[in-house]
Amino acid sequence: MRKQKTWQTVLKRTAVIVAAVFAFFPIYWLISTSFKPFDEWANWPPIWLTDNPTLQNYRIVFFPELAREFAAQQEGSLDYKVSGSAWNAFKGSAIVSVAATIISVAFGTLAAYSIVRFKTGGKNYPFQFLTVRMVPPIAVVVPMVVLFSILKLSDTYFGLILAYSAFTLPFSIWMIRSFIDDVPAELEGAAMIHGMGQFRAFLTVTLPLVKGGILSTALFIFILNWSEFLFALVLTAGNVVTVTLQVANYVSASSGKLYGVQAAMGTISTLPVIVFGYMIQRHIVRGLTFGAIKR
Amino acid sequence: MKGADTDDVKLELRSLRKVFDGVEAVKESNLILKRGEFLSLLGPSGCGKSTTLAMIAGFLEPTSGEILIDGKPVTHVPVQKRRIGLVFQDYAIFTKMSVRKNLLFGLEAQKVPRAKREKTVDEFAEKLDLKGLMKARGGELNMSEMQRVALARVLVTKPELLLLDEPMSNLDAALRASLRGELKRIQKDLGQTVLYVTHDQIEAMSMSDRIAVMNFGENLQVASPDDIYHRPKNRFVAEFIGDPPINMISCTVAGSGRSLRVSTEAHRDMPFETTAVSPGDYVLGIRAHHIVAAHEAFQGSIAAAVKLVENFGSEHVLHVTYGQDLMTVMVQPGFAREGDSVHVSFDLKDAHLVDRNSGAIYHPDEREAAA
């Protein structure tokens, strides 16, 4: 019996370790590469941890004009033409991601409330929302490009915000719906009995109770928006740049992708997600366990 | 009731109906609730009592019919404008707010001036013994405290009409017993008009001025607890009220005019005086405590074997054979044990004659006249 238990424990721990390695390796590789000098980026055998750490890649991210200077110092014919500034990309991503998250969560909350309390659309309506997510984005990209050019939305912040909001709304509705579902209707009923209208009762009673859920949904949606590449690629043309587009910008004609610079940009771009996550961590734990706690 | 002074009528339901997906949850309900009255809607789960309550509160739109409060139709008035108080079955306490905040909630929503708010809340905190709890958060309360907070939260707003939806179903029996008296006292003190929904006959019987017994969406009888118990109008009411349940014995009625004779399998030709019944097959309803039991045979008695003894504490309930059936008899503790033989009989002046088809109940004229 005891032997069996030890054996099971070992197996479980091994599984956890494998999962952790699987999850953390890309992050480790991203950070590690971002500090590697040029000639170590694509070495074989790979260099796990560089002996010559450098901030060169980060400098190029923020001061693209340094790239040419750097290229001149290298042996061989390096063409270090870096287009666009990281600042611009961060600004673009911040505007689009934040706005689209707010819109998605705001409308998602209202729609979810309506579905839960008024059974809007009938029993299967929430599932219909999810089917939107079953369509691979690539399938709708071409029609969207056409539509956006007709509507003159291409390469505008507004256009990209609209696209992101539309694509994340099903997630918002689906997630927030489960949180609102957990709030007994009687609580709002009690508020209404005491003289509040339905919407005011929702704002004063229900909203504070699902705050954690809404914030964790917001983080989730924000990550989706922040890391989105396909729509950003096809719906913009240089005016609006996002971090994911900027990562793809770090290529040179002669040496292919600038892995180190891309890694540096990637490392920096994960920071907002971590900061935002840390800020609302208290609520996320509550949000993620919301349904699990018995009233 | 129809003749009641209109000033006296707090709530009136006129042919109130509610249909859910083709199922009639409430059928043509008519009800009048007088000012200061305590009326219970009593019935089993799913009988439509909570649906009726939800319509009165405004959470459900009636399919047809009208609701009047103080003579004014409110059927289409939104919940928040009806000035009704409602205590929910699960109390719906705002768990993140302090008890004080909970109590202030309604007054703040109604924009009552601060000084008056505080004064009223303090007054009711005193009345409902919540003084020591004012700082506790809603989530820290136990069930009986929650119940008191829920009640106080509603009462501070001085509602025109107080609706209580099974407010004691979450409490244990001892607490329920003490709260029954408490609730009745508060209701009397305030002269509060109360509509109380319950499936518990003891709650309904002990607190109500009148009881409306409901089943399958239908209002079967609205009457005082005494009438409901002694003069039920139909079989469901007779069977739903009373513990142990009323004995129902097959019988035939013979004779003509006012002097009828009732025969059961074990008793022959017992006189029953009523003009309302014509001869035929009926069911005789008689309560356990109306049956006389003795160790020795007496006039009109029959021998009965004790099959089971239920101990109610202050009384025992014997399940004895009566013809082919079993019948319950209320006796003093220690009167008989399982396997004993006793002698039982009953007086038809305490009995009810139940029509086999319609379920309508007839009583001896004498008892009818006493009503």
Q: What is the CATH number of the domain that holds A212?
A: 1.10.3720.10
In a domain, A80, yes or no: no
List the single residue in A with minimal CA-CA distance to B80.
A195
Tell me the one-letter amino acid at B322: Y
In this structure, are B209 and B278 located in the same domain? no
* Domain interval for residue B71: 6-239
Q: How far apart are the first and last CA of chain A?
A: 38
**Which of A60, A77, A105 corresponds to the end of one domain?**
A60
Same domain assignment for residues B292 and B193: no
Q: Give domain status of residue B41, yes or no.
A: yes
Mean pLDDT of chain B: 90
* B-chain residues near A189 (CB < 8 A): 57, 59, 79, 86, 88, 92
- What does the CA dihedral A88, A246, A27, A52 come to, rounded to 10 degrees? -90
Provide the b/e sequence for B163-194 (b: ≥16 CB within 10 Å): bbbbbbeebeeebbeebbebbeebbeeeebbb
| pLDDT digits 0-9 by tens, A78-97 | 555 566 778 889 999 999 99
In this structure, are B263 and B308 located in the same domain?
Answer: yes
| B351 domain-assigned | yes
Is residue B309 very low, low, confident or very high in pLDDT (cuts 50, 70, 90)? very high
CATH number of the domain that B137 lies in?
3.40.50.300
Give pLDDT, residue A291: 45
Same domain, B226 and B296: no
pLDDT tens string B54-74: 999 999 999 999 999 999 999
pTM (two decimals): 0.79
Which member of A189, A196, A208 has the closest CB to residue B92?
A189
Identity of the residue in A186, A197, A209 whose CB atom sits nearest the CB atom of B92: A186
Q: Quickly state the pLDDT bin for B350 (edges 50, 70, 90).
A: confident
> Which domain, by its residues, includes A134?
86-288
For residue A225, the one-letter residue type is N
Shortest distance, CA B81 to any CA of chain A (angstroms):
6
State whether residue B180 is helix, strand or coil: helix
Query: Are the beta carbons of B96 and A191 separated by less than 8 Å?
Result: no
In this predicted structure, which of A37-41, A229-233, B309-313 has the lowest mean pLDDT? A37-41
**Domain assignment of residue B362, yes or no:** yes
**Residue B245 DSSP label:** P
Considering the domain architecture, whether residues A219 and A271 belong to the same structural domain is answered as yes
In this structure, the number of other CB atoms found within 10 A of the CB of residue A249 comes to: 19
Tens-digit pLDDT profile for residues B88-113: 988 889 988 899 999 999 898 888 89
Of B201, B223, B239, which residue is a domain's last? B239
For residue B2, what pLDDT is reported?
Answer: 45
Instruction: Write the ipTM.
Output: 0.78
| Residue A175 within a domain | yes
Residue A78 domain-assigned? no
Under the banding of pLDDT at 50, 70 and 90, the label for residue B40 is: very high
Q: Which range is most confident: A108-117, B108-117, B359-368?
A: A108-117
Are residues B56 and B67 in contact, defined by beta-carbon separation less than 8 angstroms? yes
CA dist B79 and B89 (Å) reads 18
Per-residue pLDDT, averaged over A143-167, amounts to 94
pLDDT at A194: 87
Chain B residue with minimum CA distance to A194: B106
Q: Are residues B103 and B25 in the same domain?
A: yes
Best residue in A117, A193, A203, A210 to probe B by mutation, most B CBs within 10 Å?
A193
Would you state the pLDDT for residue A27?
A: 92
Residue A292 carries which DSSP code? G
Choose the weakest-confidence range: A59-73, B34-48, B80-94: A59-73
Do residues A98 and A232 share a domain?
A: yes
Q: How far is CA B79 from CA A55, A224, B75, B162, in A?
A: 65, 41, 10, 13
Residue B90 with chain A: CB contacts under 8 Å: 184, 186
Same domain for A50 and A188? no
Q: What is the CATH number of the domain that holds B253?
A: 2.40.50.140
Task: Note the pLDDT tens digit of each residue in B262-289.
Answer: 999 888 888 888 888 888 999 999 999 9
Pairing of strands B161-165, B194-198: parallel
What is the H or E stretch that residue B326 is in?
strand B325-331
User: Residues A186-197: what's their mean pLDDT?
Assistant: 89
Statement to judge: residues B208 and B179 lie in one domain: yes
Please indicate, yes or no, whether residues B153 and B278 belong to a single structural domain of this protein. no
In a domain, A276, yes or no: yes
The answer to whether B315 and B334 have CB atoms below 8 angstroms apart is no
Nearest-neighbour CA in chain A from B233: distance (Å)? 35
Residue A118, pLDDT above cutoff 50: yes
A263 and A122 part of one domain: yes
Chain A, nearest residue to B89 by Cα: A186
Pick from B79, B89, B157: CB nearest A192: B79
- Asked if A199 has any chain B CB less than 8 Å from its own CB, the reply is no
pLDDT at A123: 85
Interface test with A, best of B74, B82, B88 (most A CBs within 10 A): B88
From chain A, the residues in CB contact with B58 under 8 A are 192
- Same structural domain, B170 and B61: yes
Q: Which residues of B touch A191 (CB under 8 A)?
A: 105, 109
Residues B164 and B230 reside in one and the same domain: yes
**If pLDDT is split at 50, 70 and 90, which confidence band does A292 have?**
very low
Total number of domains constituting chain B: 2
Instruction: For an interface test with A, give the residue of B53, B94, B146, B160 to mutate (most A CBs within 10 A).
Output: B94
Closest chain A CA to residue B107: A194
Q: Do A208 and B84 touch (CB under 8 A)?
A: no
pLDDT (mean) for B295-317:
92
Domain presence at residue B1: no
Tell me, yes or no, whether A247 lies in a domain: yes
- What's the total number of domains in chain A? 2
Same domain, residue pair A44 and A159: no
Whether residue A189 lies within 8 A of chain B, CB to CB, comes out as yes
Residues A123 and A194 in one domain: yes
Same domain, B27 and B153: yes
Q: In this structure, is residue A113 part of a structural domain? A: yes
User: Who contacts B117 (Cβ-Cβ below 8 Å, separation ≥6)?
Assistant: B104, B107, B108
Q: What is the pLDDT of residues B322-343, one digit of tens each?
A: 988 899 999 999 999 999 999 9
With an 8 Å Cβ cutoff, the interface of chain B facing chain A consists of 57-59, 78-80, 84-86, 88-90, 92, 94, 96, 105-106, 109-110, 150, 153-154, 157
- State whether B97 and B186 are in the same domain: yes
Count H helices, E strands: chain B? 9, 21
For residues A186 and A263, state if they share a domain: yes
Which pLDDT value is given to residue B297?
92
Pick the last residue of a domain from B215, B239, B263: B239
Helical axes B114-127 vs B143-155, angle rounded to 10°: 140
- Residue A136: pLDDT band by 50, 70, 90 thresholds? confident
pLDDT classification of A295: cutoffs 50, 70, 90: very low
- Asked if A193 and B57 count as a contact pair (C-beta separation under 8 A), the reply is yes
Pairs of CB atoms within 8 A across A/B: 56
| Confidence (pLDDT) at A75 | 59
- Average pLDDT of span B166-194: 87
Angle at B229 between CA B224 and CA B230, to 5 degrees: 100
Are residues A27 and A136 located together in one domain of the fold?
no
Does residue A170 sit in the same domain as residue A214? Answer: yes
Same-domain status, B107 and B30: yes
Q: Specify whether A110 is located in the same domain as A243.
A: yes
Question: Are A27 and A149 in the same domain?
Answer: no
For chain A, give the number of residues.
295
Residue of A nearest to B87 (CA): A190
A267 is a domain residue: yes
In terms of pLDDT, which residue wins out, B144 or A266? A266
Domain stops at, among B177, B212, B239 = B239
Residues A21 and A98 in one domain: no
Note the pLDDT of residue B333.
93
Which among A26, A43, A60 is the end of a domain? A60
Is position B170 within any domain? yes
Q: What is the mean pLDDT of residues B159-178?
A: 87
pLDDT at A22 over 80: yes
Lowest-pLDDT range, A7-21, A60-74, B128-142, B355-369? A60-74
Q: Which of B58, B90, B106 sits opposite A195 (nearest CB)?
A: B106
Question: Hey, are the CB atoms on A209 and B96 less than 8 Å from each other?
Answer: yes
Contacts A205 to B, Cβ<8 Å: 94
Residue after which a domain boundary falls, among A14, A44, A60 = A60
Q: Is B356 helix (H, G, I), strand (E, B) or coil?
A: coil
For residue A72, being part of any structural domain is answered with: no
Residues 208-267 on A with a CB inside 8 Å of B are: 208-209
Q: For all residues of chain A together, what is the average pLDDT?
A: 86
Q: What pLDDT is stored for residue A248 in this prediction?
A: 86
Residue A172: how many other CB atoms lie within 10 Å: 27
Residue spans of beta strands (DSSP E) within chain A: 251-252, 256-257
